[in-house]
Amino acid sequence: MTTTAENTAGTGGRARPVLLTVDDDPGVSRAVARDLRRRYGERYRVVRASSGEEALAALRELKLRGDAVVAVLADYRMPQMNGIEFLEQAMDLFPRARRALLTAYADTDAAIQAINLVDVDHYLLKPWEPPEEKLYPVVDAMVEMWLASPEAAVQDVRIVGHHWSAPSFAVRDFLARNAVPYRWYSAEEPEGRRLLDAAGAGPDDVPVVVPPGGRPLVAPTEAELAAAVGLTVEPSAEFYDLVVVGGGPAGLGAAVYGASEGLRTVLVERQATGGQAGQSSRIENYLGFPDGVSGGQLADRARRQAAKFGAEVLTARKVAALDTQGPARVVRFADGGCIAAHAVVLATGVSYRKLEAEGADGFTGRGVYYGSAITEAASCAGEDVYVVGGANSAGQSAVFFARHARSVTLLVRGPSLEASMSHYLVQQLAAIPNVAVRTGTTVVAARGGDHLEELDLRDATGAVETVPSSHLFVFIGAAPRTEWLDGVVARDGLGFLPTGPDLLVDGARPPGWRLERDPYLLESSVPGVFVAGDVRAQSVKRVASAVGEGAMAVTLVHRYLGER
């Protein structure tokens, strides 16, 4: 790593963003660093490493210090860990850093593969002389892409809070799920106290969020937090061709295809794009990613893809109602605002059901977490972690936390995993030595002081065992978020939204249907309002099918608009 003087030069005391280069050939490594410093040395630090492991160690140190990484250039042919394998792991540390693979002409096939596998932005053929023609234009493009990303704008967001505070966890989780980098300070540590003093706040006022160059926010709402860190919360227009409600795989698919096909499109998400899939630590059965991809990475790519085609993405806006006003479909927000469109795609997904265990509600965000809560990974080191659920999301979480915790126990209500979990994941779990699976087991009580400390577990015989644990991650059931549609769009007994043929009863169209045709395949009981993804009745609960339904819904939107 570079010296402290180099770290802060030209930044008024703040570390300059980093350009990282990795090559096991010392001569090539020096040449890359020399050429990069010649052009970018005044604005960026150039850090070089001689292996993938050395580079990952450097990235981990940069991450801990809160420094920003602009771009990573990695040689393809390196021993122990090649460039593609390194970039895949580097993405988990700095997902918004731009990536380039250095290859020989014979390795161009590998470079093309890397574009799909780890979202490589460019590949460079060695040698790249002269750099003015072959190196700098590529690096310039990567720097410009990074400068346009949220990381460049909000790299110094700081949070002061208490670890076992539910509001503090909610702020960290919101920023992490929206891929906004931040630095975390405990209210008990000196720097945390200094920030609280500067903000005119005390330990009881946490969480306190200090955005760069902005006023401190004390216990902010999600909308206030989103606006402060540069996320879009206000629409640019009052009327669109298409409003997509929900930012999971189905909603992102609809936004990408809607915008790419010329529809003025806005996506509205109440918390963070990605939905439940966005919280998955590793999705390994999604087409085109043979080595897997994290849900966060997949959501980030889809979000950037939607933005590239011109779709707007509104974050931290909760939708409260849907109205029809003649040919317009009006989406109303909980804060009183609204937007309208010719057509709407409902892709609100599902949420995890609450754990019905005595005392569990009181520990939400203080030891009991719904979803993976990846921000808690570091605090699980050396701990005994419990995961509730028997589907893929629970299995993926168990695999992830096994890398950090002393032990992970998967609690499954049913008699086995095979009926609810993919075969590949069952095999993975069986091969991890610190993962145990307890079938026929439920959580009946949670206890502790300021945070979760122990659980009562009931087995299939009715016997109850008390176990110590500070972390419980819950992945049970699927509750659709459709109460706000009651009385407007037809719902089934569980709250899911039937579409197309499922709306016909003895051949009769749904009440209030005034068109002379039957509802289209993904159309709800309201003409021009379509449904995609997990919230649709009888849908297949998989990422690929949700993306496909989002795309199909846009095709049907075009057909509907053609009727007008």
Q: In this predicted model, what pLDDT tens digit does every residue of 187-232 receive, in sequence order?
A: 999 888 888 988 889 999 999 998 876 688 999 999 999 999 989 9
* 399 and 337 housed in the same domain: no
The pTM (predicted TM-score) of the whole model is 0.77
430 contact partners, CB below 8 Å, separation of at least 6: none
Q: Note whether 337 and 483 are same-domain residues.
A: yes
* 353 phi and psi angles, rounded to 5 deg: -75, 150
Using one digit for the tens of pLDDT, what is the confidence trace for 277-296? 887 878 888 888 887 788 88
Averaged pLDDT, 297-303: 89
Answer yes or no: is pLDDT of 152 > 70.
Answer: no
Identify the CATH number of the domain in which residue 400 sits: 3.50.50.60
Judgement on whether residues 270 and 286 belong to the same structural domain of the protein: yes
Instruction: State how beta strands 328-333 and 319-325 pair.
Output: antiparallel
Is residue 234 assigned to a domain?
no
Looking at the DSSP bridge assignments, the partners of residue 69 are: 18
End residue of a domain, out of 207, 228, 249: 228
Q: Let me know whether 309 and 373 are in one domain.
A: no
- What pairing do the DSSP bridges indicate for beta strands 319-325 and 479-480? unpaired
CB-CB contact of 241 with 232 (8 Å): no
Interval 481-504: pLDDT, tens:
899 999 999 999 999 999 999 999
| DSSP 3-state percent helix, strand, coil across the chain (nearest 5) | 35, 25, 40
95 and 10 fall within a common domain: yes
The residue type at 233? V
- What integer pLDDT is reported at residue 113 of this predicted model? 63
Q: How far is CA 522 from CA 323, 405, 443, 560, in A?
A: 19, 43, 38, 11
For the residues 431-456, what does the mean pLDDT come to?
97
Q: Are 245 and 344 in contact (CB under 8 A)?
A: yes
Furthest-apart CA atoms within the chain: distance in Å: 78
Euclidean distance between CA atoms 347 and 211, whole angstroms: 31
Distance CA 62, CA 59 (A): 5
Worst-scoring range by mean pLDDT, 8-22, 105-119, 163-177, 435-449? 105-119
Distance CA 50, CA 21 (A): 9
Task: Confirm whether 556 is domain-assigned.
Answer: yes
Position 81 pLDDT exceeds 90: no
Task: Please state the separation of Cα 395 from the chain's center in Å.
Answer: 18
Number of domains in the chain: 4
Nearest Cα neighbor of 46 from 76, 23, 79 is 23
Are both 61 and 162 inside the same structural domain? no
Q: Quick check: 12 pLDDT over 90?
A: no
Q: Is 316 helix (H, G, I), strand (E, B) or coil?
A: coil
Work out whether strand 471-474 and strand 384-388 pair parallel, antiparallel, or are unpaired: parallel
Strands of the sheet containing 158-161, edge to edge, are 183-186, 158-161, 208-210, 217-218
Residues 92 and 42 in one domain: yes
Q: What is the DSSP letter of 16?
A: P
Lowest-confidence region among 207-216, 319-328, 353-362, 444-453: 207-216
Question: What's residue 8's pLDDT?
Answer: 36
The answer on 466 and 492 residing in a single domain is no
Sign of torsion, CA 431 434 439 443? negative
Looking at the fold, whether 330 and 455 belong to one and the same domain comes out as no
CB-CB contact of 285 with 277 (8 Å): no
Q: Domain for residue 185, yes or no? A: yes
Which tokens is 144 given?
Answer: 């410009």
Degrees, nearest 5: CA angle 389-395-400: 125
Instruction: Say what percent of the chain tops pLDDT 90.
Output: 63
Could you give the CA distance from residue 22 to residue 244 in angstroms, rounded to a whole number?
41
What one-character DSSP code corresponds to residue 106?
Answer: G
Is residue 337 assigned to a domain?
yes
Q: What is the pLDDT of residue 291?
A: 75
Is residue 457 within 8 A of residue 467, CB to CB? The reply is yes
Residue 356 lies in a domain: no
DSSP 129-183: -SHHHHTHHHHHHHHHHHHTSHHHHSTT-EEEE-TT-HHHHHHHHHHHHTT---E
83: enclosing H helix or E strand: helix 83-93
Mutual orientation of helices 392-402 and 423-431 as an angle, nearest 10°?
A: 30
User: Are residues 31 and 54 located together in one domain of the fold?
Assistant: yes
Could you tell me whether strands 407-412 and 384-388 are parallel, antiparallel, or unpaired per DSSP bridges?
Answer: parallel
The residue from 474, 503, 538 where one domain ends is 474
What CATH number is associated with residue 216?
Answer: 3.40.30.10
Is residue 68 domain-resident? Answer: yes
Identify whether 130 is preceded by a cis peptide bond (ω within 30 of 0): yes
Lowest mean pLDDT among 198-202, 529-533, 547-551: 198-202
The per-residue pLDDT for 6 is 37
CA atoms of 246 and 383, how far apart (whole Å): 35
Residue 384, domain member (yes or no): yes
Final residue of a structural domain among 228, 254, 282: 228
C-alpha–C-alpha distance, residues 292 and 103, integer Å: 23
Provide the residue range defining the domain that includes 500: 239-351+479-562
Please count the other Cβ atoms lying within 10 Å of the Cβ belonging to residue 431: 9
Residues 483, 338 share a domain: yes
Residue 233 covered by a domain: no
3-state secondary structure of 479: strand
What is the domain-level CATH number for residue 35?
A: 3.40.50.2300
249 and 269, same structural domain? yes
Per-residue pLDDT tens digits for 340-364: 999 999 999 999 899 999 999 999 9
